[in-house]
Amino acid sequence: MKEVDTAATYLREHLPFAPDLALVLGSGLGGLAQEIEDAVVIPYREVPGFPISTAPGHAGQFVAGRLGGKNVLCMQGRFHYYEGHEMSAIALPVRVFKALGCTALVLTNAAGGVNWDFNVGDFMLITDHINFMGANPLRGANDDSIGPRFCDMTHVYAPELQEVALKVAAEQNLVLQKGVYLGYMGPSFETPAEIRAFRTLGADAVGMSTVPEAIAASHCGLPVLGLSLITNMAAGMAGKRLSGDEVIEIANQRGAVFQQLVRGIVEAM
């Protein structure tokens, strides 16, 4: 795929190393990029074919360097379907990670809690997802050099990486919830009726990202670890209006703990 090859070539020319791991940092979680040693910053606008991230709290740049003893390439901010980007644009960075030789992808997000047993500030290990966005990044002509026309989705979130995450969380005395993430198009928050429906479907958390990236990763054979920070309880659960500012506020409050968890996971991978 020309777009993948062009972007990967540009990044190879501007990165000091071939990355071992790729990370995508969600809303309010970009502070982890500050922990990267010997950092090289590449704004998305400089990468051929890349769109611009417009979501609040998303810096819109790659940060490459050392984290947890690994060479990492980090997206400090991602692209969302609700911004108006095509699904192919959301899949592009994932395919570029694979082309650059990354062996795993860590996806993080801020999410609304749907499971009544969750609390604001909890972390959730994504064990599976439900695609409720009404679109799929694999729609259209398939490039067999990237992945099969019909890709298996049984183990999108690699069981072996989940075990690593659970082990690290236990070592850090951190409760790591487990659950199913439901991807919703947005940008409006869900209604209380939708949240009740999603809970019936088996969702534990809901958000507006991650699912397209995970599908693209499964398609190209890139193992995924997914982590959600529960920044609010979903509509109708807390008896108050929802706010994007609240999402970022809680993400900032829990940022240090999140960074410690992800750094430990990266080191153990």
Q: What is the pLDDT of residues 34-84, one digit of tens each?
A: 889 999 999 999 999 998 777 666 678 999 999 999 999 999 989 999 999
* Model confidence band, residue 245 (pLDDT cutoffs 50, 70, 90): confident
Report whether 58 belongs to an annotated binding site.
yes
Least confident of 16-30, 92-106, 107-121, 212-226: 16-30
* Model confidence band, residue 199 (pLDDT cutoffs 50, 70, 90): very high
C-beta of residue 194 within 8 angstroms of C-beta of residue 121: no
- Does the CA dihedral 161-33-12-18 come out positive or negative? negative
Q: What is the count of structural domains for the chain?
A: 1
- For residue 256, the one-letter residue type is A
d(CA 120, CA 171): 22
pTM of the model: 0.94
pLDDT value, residue 70: 95
- Structural domain for 35, as ranges: 2-268
pLDDT digits (tens, 9 = 90+) for 140-171: 999 999 999 999 999 999 999 999 999 999 99
Report whether 14 belongs to an annotated binding site.
no
Report the 10 Å Cβ neighbour count for 80.
24
Report whether 85 belongs to an annotated binding site.
no
d(CA 206, CA 131): 10
pLDDT value, residue 58: 61
Does 109 have pLDDT greater than 90? yes
pLDDT value, residue 256: 86
* Residue matched to tokens 């990355």: 19
pLDDT digits (tens, 9 = 90+) for 84-108: 999 999 999 999 999 999 999 999 9
pLDDT value, residue 234: 86
Half-sphere exposure in the Cβ direction for 264 (13 Å, CA): 18
Return the CATH number at 262: 3.40.50.1580
Report whether 129 belongs to an annotated binding site.
no
- Does the CA dihedral 256-58-120-164 come out positive or negative? negative
Report whether 190 belongs to an annotated binding site.
yes
Report whether 80 belongs to an annotated binding site.
yes
Report whether 243 belongs to an annotated binding site.
no
